[in-house]
A and B are shown apart, each in its own frame.
Chain A
C-alpha cells in the first residue's frame, strides 16, 4: 500500500519558488491500477517522482508498505527502489546495450549472476512478446516495442509497484491500446500494483480502477473510475471527461447549454420530451456519449432558440427535470 500524507513540493529557483504539489493525500491499495490524471503542469510527474523519491518532497510523508520513504537511509532507499519500478514516456532504454542487456540491467546492478539474469530476461521478453528481438538494439525498434522492452526491464526485479509516467503518450492509439492491455495483464497475472500518470482520459477509462484528478498542484477529486466518470464533481474532472468541443463554438445563434448524461436517465428520450413539452426547437451542436456498464454517459451541447421566451421555457423545463445542465459560453 502506498500512502501519501500531506505531501508538498516546492521548487526553489532564482526566479522565485514554484509550488508543484500542495497537501496531497492519496492512498493506493495493493493490486489496483491507480490513475492520476491532470493537464500538463498540474504536478502529476512531480507527484509520481515523489513516490520513489526521485524528487524529495518538501514536506509530508510517503509511506510504502508501512515504511516512510523520506526517513530511509540512502542504501535502504536504493534497495527499496528495486521494488518500485518505473516506465517513462521516452522509454529511456540504454542505447548502447541490446534488448537483452537492457532487461538484464536492473539485475546486473543488484548483483544477480549473468546467466541467471539472462534467463530471467528472456522469460520477460517472451512475456512482452519480443523474445526474437533480444539481440537487437533500441534504435532498431519501434516506439511500442521500446516500451515493451522498458516494461520487461521494469519487471526484472519482481517489483511490487510499477509507476508509469505518461508511458503511452508518445505512442499511436493502436499501440497505446496494446501497451495498456499488457499492463492490465501484468496487473492481473503478476499482481503488480500499477500507478498510471496520464493526461488522457481514455487511458484511465481503459485500465484504471481508481483515479485521482490533479489540478493546480493539488488533488481535485478522487475515487473509483466509474464514480468519477459518471458523476464528476470538480470542474477539472468535468473538463477532462467532457472535453470542450471547439467546432461547436464557431456557430452563431442563441444560448448554448451543455446537457450532461450521467447514466441516470439514459433510457428516457430526454431531448424529444424537452422539445415536445416546450414546443421549442433546439439545435444539437455536439454530442459525445459512451456506454459504461450498461448506462449512457457523456454530454451534448444544444443551441436554444433565439426567441428568449422559448429559451427560458426550456431552461425552466430542465430545472424541473433531473437533467444536469450547464450554460456554455
Chain B
C-alpha cells in the first residue's frame, strides 16, 4: 500500500519527529511573535487617531514597518533575512534560524491581528475608564486587553496556523519538520504517499489548534452564557 521509502522513513521515526518539530517550532515562534507583535499591536491601536493617545507619527512609522514586512512573500523574506539570523544567533542554519525567520515574518501579522482585536473594544467602556481617572497604561492592561481577550485568543489561533504554514516553507532554507519530510522524501524522491501523509498530519495539527483555541475563546468569553 505504501512505498518502500515510506516504511523506511516511518521506521526511522522521521515523520514522528517531523510532527514534534513542526509543533515545537510553531509554538515557540508563535510565542516570540506575540512577545513582539502584541506590544506593536497595542501601540498601533493606542496611537491611532481614535486611540487613547493619538500620536500620528508613531502610528505612521510603525504602520509602515509592519506593512513593509507584511507585503513581502514569506519565502523571499526568509532568504533576505538570513543575515539577521546570523547576526542574532551566529548561524543561519538550523531550526534556531528558522524560528528567527518565523518571528520576523509573523510578528507584523500578529501586530495587525492584535490591533484589530483591540479595535473591537467598545469605545464607551474606554471612555468610562477615562472618566474614572484611569491612566493610559491602566486602560491598556485593565480594559483593552481583558475586554478583547476572546478576540485575541481567536486571533492567536489564526496566527498560529499561519506560523505553522510558514514553518513548512522554512524547509526550503533547511528547517526541519513535516515540511522538510514532505519536500525531501515526498517531493524530491517522488513518493506521493509521504507527501500526502505529511499533508494529512498538518491538517490534523491545524484542526486540533483550531478546536482547542475556539474552545478556550468560547469559555473565556463572558458575553455569551
Residues on A facing B (Cβ under 8 Å): 52, 54, 77-82, 84-86, 88, 90, 92-98, 105-106, 108-110, 137-140, 150, 157, 163
Contacts and interface: CB of A to CB of B under 8 A. Distances in A.
B131 A81 contact: yes
B55 to A, nearest CB: 15
B131 A109 contact: no
A52 B146 CA distance: 25
B131 A52 contact: yes
B216 to A, nearest CB: 14
Given A54-B127, A92-B127, A96-B147, A139 B132 contact: no
B222 A105 contact: no
B147 A88 contact: no
A79 B133 contact: yes
A96 B132 contact: no
Contacts of B223: 95-96, 137, 139
Contact of B224 (A108, A109, A139): A139
Contact of A109 (B133, B146, B221): B133
Contacts of B149: 96
Of A52, A81, A96, chain B has the most CB atoms within 10 Å of the CB of A96
Interface residues of B, number: 25
Interface in B112-144: 122, 124-125, 127-135, 138, 142-143
A87 B180 CA distance: 59
B71 to A, nearest CB: 27
Given A94-B147, A108-B142, A109-B132, 12 more contacts: A54-B130, A78-B134, A85-B131, A85-B132, A94-B146, A95-B122, A95-B222, A96-B220, A105-B129, A106-B132, A109-B129, A110-B133
A54 B131 contact: yes
A109 B142 contact: yes
Contacts of A108: 142
Question: Could you tell me the dominant secondary structure of chain A's interface residues?
Answer: mixed
A137 B147 CA distance: 13
A93 B133 contact: no
B225 interface: yes
Nearest to B143: A94
Contacts of B146: 94, 96-97
Nearest to B135: A78
B133 A82 contact: yes
22 contacts: A52-B131, A78-B135, A81-B130, A82-B132, A88-B128, A92-B125, A94-B146, A95-B122, A95-B222, A96-B220, A96-B221, A96-B222, A98-B222, A105-B142, A106-B132, A108-B142, A110-B133, A137-B223, A137-B225, A139-B225, A140-B225, A163-B131
